[in-house]
Amino acid sequence: MEETKKEVPAPEDDPELKKLAQEAHALEEAVKAEAKTAGWQSLTHVFREPFVYERKTFETLEFDWGALTGADSMAIEDEILARTRRTVVNPRFSSEYLVGMAVRACTSRSREGGRFDRAAMRALPLGTFQKICGSARNFLILAEL
């Protein structure tokens, strides 16, 4: 009895992989184009209504991505490793890493003087959370990190 083997296309010949690669490239190009007209090293988010978390009230959140240092990156990775026992493979696609960046880059204080922390970041509405993580990701892409 003769077996027929199904040929698997090489990765460079796979149309689905090609499509995904083109979409990823287009996304990176769109981010770079947007950066030319907008500041990519910082983000200011203004809440429509104040965001309250654990008796801390935030009306705006300001993030200075450009102020982060190599020490910040190492500390973020160490915190993730200690908490999850996992290492960061690619910071651009690690929500834990992006949250760590946001907490360290946030220069805002609540009305009461409190810092914006990891728990508050996780409690944000999904759209706001994604906007902040997207800005951090864009910074990493544009800084070619």
**Model pTM greater than 0.85?**
no
**Cβ 107 vs Cβ 61: under 8 Å:** no
Q: State pLDDT tens for residues 62-104.
A: 999 999 999 999 999 999 999 999 999 999 999 999 999 999 9
Sequential pLDDT tens for the chain (145 residues) = 555 566 655 667 788 878 877 877 776 676 566 555 557 899 999 999 999 999 999 999 999 999 999 999 999 999 999 999 999 999 999 999 999 999 999 999 999 999 999 999 999 999 999 999 999 999 999 988 5
